[in-house]
């Protein structure tokens, strides 16, 4: 057999052990899911006392299965189809580990293992109340559905028989980047966080032993962690696309990008709704609705990514059968969750008597706009698919649609985001309203002035972006000033400062997006040794074409000198055209000079003559602030989860400092 070797006698059974562990995990998940409901169904088999044991054994089985798959990658066991399709002997060990979640089957196993581990942590930390029994039962049912999905149609341990390839097909070259190490795990942890919130919502609807306020309070840390991880996942995904794809953009409104961005919007609304419920003992029905919706949208996004119904460079798979199974799971979760919520809806309603300009009213309005934004993006992502099914014709929905809807909605959200923390609960504050009116007038005047000075014509999106950034910075500064003036040294202020840093991160991201969109400069030209080009005050001189060898690829590399505005040498940039050894695939690797205020970005295209290549040179002001803002938002969320004692060690200031701060 050409290119194949027979399965060796005594071949290790490692893959079969991993598969057996998945089967054991499925059994344990089913027992966990059934244990609280058996007495109600008349089954005299008391499994509830053993539920914590099932959860811990299940987590152990899932993690062991994941480690076994990692081991198979590291030892280049190409008898396993998933390893053969996503690895190669020349692949670096770090990327072999990342390849575990770089494809469809491994990413689903990683998702299940993280969910099992999170369930185990909750079981170890919290008691054995009916609420947590129901929560673990729902998580067990979700895991059972995902594991059944793996075992039936997406087995990560399936063998290639009767022969084994001598060499693997290699990991997709686009995935051989640090982005693969950071982006998918963060997103999956965020998805698991929303799954836990979904399970908590169902458990809250089933358990009447405690008030809803207590259930929602327990849900809040999980929602914050899910939001922080989704924030980091989306930020790193954007950064990865900017670095790896060679087109120089940071967001394309791709359906698969949208599939992870939509749950982030819902998670943002959920986090604020839970804060409202904890403070005012209202809006619990809204929180439960958002928790169910958030996880349902995660499953819908997974369907889009893995079914092949949308074409994307980010898609994991293109299998209609797998897509159908995920769509079925999405339907079951959504129907069961929303049906239970509708049954309990009359008991969840509590009248709210608040002024329209109170803090809770503005926060609720902000949540509504976030939900509208999520639905608008979902509609734009799915409409081409629905239109093709209905008419048989293909259409596309591009960036103009998304920008025309999302940018004005973002402006409204920022308007509310800045004003809400300054408002009082239940009643309006005329003094603050006057200050905000003055601040809004100043921000508008500065934005109009910047538009007139920096742009040749009126640009509505630039005006909205600059106003949003200035407004958030002004409102956050005003809030901090009032907070510090009233500071007494008592109480845990983490939430307030985390909120300020998160809002600051949003402002910086908007600033980076606005400036890079309106002030970037770009040239597409043919260049060869000795040729130069001036752009944005910088001079780019093509010095040489070099050949570079790597264990995974060979590359043609351009050596381009960059000189600053004073004609002083600034840097050498090395864009490449990489050809991978395993599959002869070619990709463009950009050369980037990064600074706090601008990136110089060069990508290398096809060869045009013996010495000349197609070169794209770009000047991108403040683009790095997009991801700086995203990281600030992520760490602001994580800071709320630190143990209280760590944040209280140096909290109380001296009396002199307190007087000075006042």
- pLDDT single digits (tens) 204-221: 999 888 888 888 999 999
Question: Does domain 14-176 fall into CATH 1.10.8?
Answer: no
Check the CA dihedral 239-240-241-243 and report its sign. Answer: positive
Answer whether 209's CB lies under 8 Å from 131's CB: yes
Closest CA to 266 of 250, 287, 290: 290
To the nearest 10°, the Cα dihedral for 257, 261, 262, 264? 160
Q: Over range 16-23, report the average pLDDT.
A: 96
pLDDT at 10 over 70: no
As separate numbers, helices (DSSP H) first and strands (DSSP E) second, the chain gives: 19, 12
Residue 125 neighbours by CB under 8 Å, 6+ apart: none
130-186 pLDDT, tens digit each:
899 999 999 999 999 999 999 998 899 999 877 788 889 889 888 888 999 999 999
Burial annotation 521-538 (CB, 10 A radius, 16+ → b, else e): eeeeeebbeebeeebbeb
DSSP 3-state of 646: helix
Q: Is the pLDDT of residue 20 over 90?
A: yes
pLDDT at 530 over 60: yes
CA of 621: how far to CAs of 458, 514, 594, 614, 641, in Å?
Answer: 20, 10, 10, 23, 34
Give the model's confidence band at 9: pLDDT under 50 very low, under 70 low, under 90 confident, else very high: very low
Q: What is the DSSP string of 498-532?
A: HHHHHHHHHHHHHHHHHHHHHH-EEEEEEE-TT-E
For 90-140, what is each residue's pLDDT tens digit? Answer: 899 999 999 999 999 999 999 999 999 999 999 998 867 889 999 999 999
Checking if the pLDDT of 279 tops 90, the result is: no
Question: Could you count the other beta carbons within 10 Å of the beta carbon of residue 49?
Answer: 9
Query: Contact 637/227 with Cβ under 8 angstroms?
Result: yes
Output the pLDDT for position 438.
Answer: 96
List the structure tokens of 607: 């060869």
* Closest by CA position to 515, among listed 571, 593, 589, 596: 596
Cα gap 486→484, rounded to integer Å: 5
Q: What's the pLDDT band for 1 if we cut at 50, 70, 90? A: very low
Mean pLDDT of 261-267: 97
Arithmetic mean of pLDDT, 370-391: 90
First-to-last C-alpha distance (Å) of the chain: 82
The pLDDT assigned to 375 comes to 96
Tell me the mean pLDDT in the region 57-83.
96
* Residue 660 binned pLDDT confidence (cut-offs 50, 70, 90): very low
Residue 377 has pLDDT above 60, yes or no: yes
* Residue 44's pLDDT band (cuts 50, 70, 90): low
Mention every residue, 6+ apart, whose C-beta is less than 8 A from residue 244: 174, 177, 179, 589
Answer yes or no: is pLDDT of 520 > 90.
yes
pLDDT tens digits for 183-205?
999 999 999 999 999 999 999 99
pLDDT of amino acid 50: 87
Q: Which range among 126-135, 251-260, 361-370 has the greatest average pLDDT?
A: 361-370
> Residue 541's beta-bridge partner residues?
532, 561
pLDDT above 90 (res 599): yes
Tell me the domain boundaries of the chain.
14-176, 208-346+360-413, 429-519+626-643+654-661, 521-622
Read off the pLDDT of residues 553-566 as tens digits, 9 standing for 90 and up.
Answer: 899 999 999 999 99
| 41 SS3 class | coil
Per DSSP, what are the bridge partners of residue 615? 525, 604
Highest mean pLDDT among 12-16, 532-536, 640-644: 532-536
Confidence at residue 597, expressed as pLDDT on a 0 to 100 scale: 95
pLDDT at 90: 87
Helix axes 284-307, 255-280, angle to 10 degrees: 170
Q: Pick the range with the lowest mean pLDDT from 142-146, 473-477, 522-526, 578-582.
A: 578-582
The predicted model gives 387-397 an average pLDDT of: 82
Q: What is the distance between the alpha carbons of residues 503 and 509, in angstroms, rounded to a whole number?
A: 10
How far apart are the C-alpha atoms of 106 and 35, rounded to whole Å? 29
Say which residue, 616 or 354, is predicted with more confidence: 616
pLDDT for residue 208? 80
- The pLDDT, as a whole number, for residue 32 is 94
pLDDT at 114: 97
pLDDT on residue 547: 94
Q: How large is the average pLDDT for residues 314-341? A: 83
- To the nearest whole number, what is the mean pLDDT of the chain? 89
pLDDT band of 45, cuts 50, 70, 90: low
Angle between helices 130-153 and 104-125 (to 10 degrees): 160
Q: Are 215 and 262 in contact (CB under 8 A)?
A: no
Question: pLDDT at position 42, please?
Answer: 55
* CB distance 205 to 138 below 8 Å: no
pLDDT-derived band at 283, boundaries 50, 70, 90? confident
Name which residue leads in pLDDT, 582 or 198. 198
Query: What's the pLDDT score for residue 6?
Result: 47
Determine how β-strand 163-165 pairs with β-strand 613-621.
unpaired
> Higher model confidence: residue 22 or residue 580?
22
Q: CB count, 10 Å around CB of 45?
A: 11
pLDDT at 395: 82
The radius of gyration computed from the CA coordinates of the chain, to the nearest angstrom, equals: 27
Q: What is the pTM of this model?
A: 0.92
Answer with the residue of higher pLDDT: 5 or 234: 234
Q: What percent of the chain has pLDDT over 90?
A: 66
How many C-beta neighbours within 10 Å does residue 431 have?
9
């Amino acid at each position: 057999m050409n290119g194949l070797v027979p399965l060796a006698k005594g071949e290790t059974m490692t893959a079969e052990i991993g598969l057996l562990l998945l089967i054991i995990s499925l059994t344990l998940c089913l027992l966990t899911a059934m244990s609280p409901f058996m007495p109600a169904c008349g089954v005299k088999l008391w499994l509830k006392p053993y539920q914590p044991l099932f959860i811990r054994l299940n987590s152990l089985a899932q993690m062991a299965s994941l480690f076994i798959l990692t081991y198979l990658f590291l030892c280049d066991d190409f008898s396993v189809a998933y390893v053969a399709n996503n690895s190669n002997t020349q692949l670096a060990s770090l990327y072999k580990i990342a390849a575990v979640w770089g494809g469809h089957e491994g990413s689903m196993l990683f998702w299940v293992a993280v969910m099992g581990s999170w369930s185990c942590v909750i079981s170890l930390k919290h008691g054995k109340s009916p609420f947590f029994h129901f929560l673990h039962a729902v998580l067990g049912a979700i895991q059972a559905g995902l594991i059944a999905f793996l075992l039936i149609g997406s087995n990560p341990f399936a063998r290639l028989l009767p022969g084994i390839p001598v060499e693997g097909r290699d990991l997709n070259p686009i995935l051989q980047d640090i982005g693969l190490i950071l982006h998918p795990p963060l997103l999956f942890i965020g998805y698991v966080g929303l799954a836990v919130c979904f399970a908590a919502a169902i458990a809250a609807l089933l358990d009447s032993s405690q008030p809803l306020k207590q259930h929602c309070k327990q849900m809040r840390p999980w929602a914050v962690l899910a939001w922080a991880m989704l924030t980091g996942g989306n930020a790193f995904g954007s950064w990865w696309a900017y670095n790896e794809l060679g087109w120089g953009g940071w967001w394309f409104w791709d359906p698969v990008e949208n599939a992870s961005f939509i749950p982030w919007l819902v998670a943002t609304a959920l986090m604020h709704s839970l804060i409202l419920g904890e403070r005012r003992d209202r809006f619990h029905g809204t929180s439960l609705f958002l928790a169910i919706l958030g996880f349902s949208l995660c499953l819908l996004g997974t369907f889009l990514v893995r079914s092949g119904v949308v074409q994307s460079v980010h898609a994991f798979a293109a299998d209609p059968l797998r897509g159908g199974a995920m769509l079925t799971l999405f339907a079951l979760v959504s129907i069961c969750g929303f049906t239970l919520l509708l049954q309990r809806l009359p008991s969840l309603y509590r009248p709210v008597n608040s002024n329209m300009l109170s803090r809770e009213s503005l926060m609720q309005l902000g949540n509504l706009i976030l939900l509208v934004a999520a639905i608008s993006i979902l509609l734009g992502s799915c409409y081409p698919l629905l239109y093709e099914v209905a008419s048989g014709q293909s259409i596309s929905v591009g960036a103009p649609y998304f920008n025309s809807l999302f940018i004005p909605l973002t402006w409204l959200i920022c308007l509310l985001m800045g004003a809400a923390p300054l408002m009082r609960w239940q009643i309006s504050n005329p003094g603050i309203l006057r200050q905000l009116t003055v601040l809004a007038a100043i921000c508008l005047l500065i934005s109009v002035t910047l538009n007139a000075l920096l742009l040749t014509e009126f640009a509505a999106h630039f005006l909205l972006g600059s106003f949003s950034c200035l407004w958030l910075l002004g409102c956050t500064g005003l809030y901090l000033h009032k907070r510090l003036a009233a500071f007494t040294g008592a109480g845990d202020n983490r939430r307030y400062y985390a909120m300020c840093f998160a809002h600051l991160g949003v402002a910086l991201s908007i600033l980076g997006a606005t400036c890079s969109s309106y002030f970037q400069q770009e040239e597409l030209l043919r260049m060869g040794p000795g040729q130069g080009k001036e752009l944005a005050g910088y001079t780019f001189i093509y010095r040489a074409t070099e050949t570079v060898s790597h264990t995974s690829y060979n590359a043609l590399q351009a050596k381009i000198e960059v000189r600053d505005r004073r004609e002083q040498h600034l840097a050498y940039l090395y864009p490449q055209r990489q050809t991978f050894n395993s599959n002869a695939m070619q990709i463009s690797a950009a050369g980037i000079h990064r600074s706090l205020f601008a990136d110089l970005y060069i990508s290398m295209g096809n060869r045009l003559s013996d010495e000349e290549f197609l070169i794209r040179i770009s000047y991108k002001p403040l683009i790095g602030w997009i991801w700086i803002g995203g990281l600030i938002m992520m760490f602001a969320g994580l800071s709320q989860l630190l143990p209280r004692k760590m944040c209280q060690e140096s909290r109380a200031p001296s009396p002199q400092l307190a007087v000075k701060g006042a």
